[in-house]
Structure 1
Amino acid sequence: MIAILKARRGALAAEVALAAGLILSSACIFSFSAHSGSAMGTVRGPLAIGGSAALDACSLISPRAISSVLGAPVIGRRTADDAGAAHCAWQVTSTFESVSLEIGAPNSAAEFTPGPGGRVSDLGGGAVEFDLAGRLGIVEVVKVSLSDDEATMVAAGLANQLIAERSG
């Protein structure tokens, strides 16, 4: 029992450190390319993403990581599920600040081109797109206290964490 509690405490500490690291150090880690488009998106956990199985985008990112980004506890809400795609939005209703995630259908990332030196492409306005096992993913962060560039760096941090969890 003690070992289980220690493992849970360690996992919680890792999630908190991840969220803090996304905000504080993402400027040194990620690079982007200019790209235009619209955005939504976020992700987490070991699960087969590349296949045709339906997935729950809200379960892919830790609620603690999302709450750390937004500064308040929030619950993800499915915003749409269509043609093999999955969508989730986490919103602080009092401020309209949000994190949103879209994971496209299988093979939707066929035309994706990552930015230089990275695995994500900058969509501008706090959003990035990325290839997640052949599915096009989009993460968008909207937070009043962050500039567009800072919000984009946080979105890139979430996307890169998701990619790392899925490719390992």
Structure 2
Amino acid sequence: LGLCCLLTGCSGYEEAIKLASEGDSTTVDKLVKDIYGGDYERFGLPGHIVACSFGHMNLPEKREQASKADLARATLVTVLNNIGSISMMCARTENVDRILFSGSFLRINDLSMRILAYAMDYWSEGKIKAIFLEHEGYFSAVGCLGEYIMDENDLTDISQS
């Protein structure tokens, strides 16, 4: 949120998400096709994939063309690409096929859920699914309860209770 506010002058979360939903990140981000003229078949990269976040912003004419909404969308895509990459790496390391996402960031943010779900499906070739939890405000309390139960019963694994 801070980076989006810095780049766009927006004043809060809802405004940043609204701006992002109206923007086009491809005016800000450099895509594979911008570098190779299309898909980069040698590495199986389609042309529409981001090659460099904010990659067009080094050119003055591209900076002039980018709207605040485009900058907000590019910021969101950059953050979600990082979240998605780290989540996928952890899922593969732990050999799991579902990633649960929760938190207030996703509460009124269908755009982020769609981007994350698409990224998980695309980069895992459909093997890893993103699952978004509702009522995210309760999950911290449930986690605390689980820890309390484990501590009270001197357990190391909640599945033993």
TM-score by length of 1: 0.29
Which one has a bigger Cα radius of gyration?
2
Bigger RCO of structures 1 and 2 (CA < 8 A, at least 6 apart): 1
TM-score by length of 2: 0.30
Task: Point out the structure with the larger helix share.
Answer: 2
Task: Point out the structure with the larger strand share.
Answer: 1
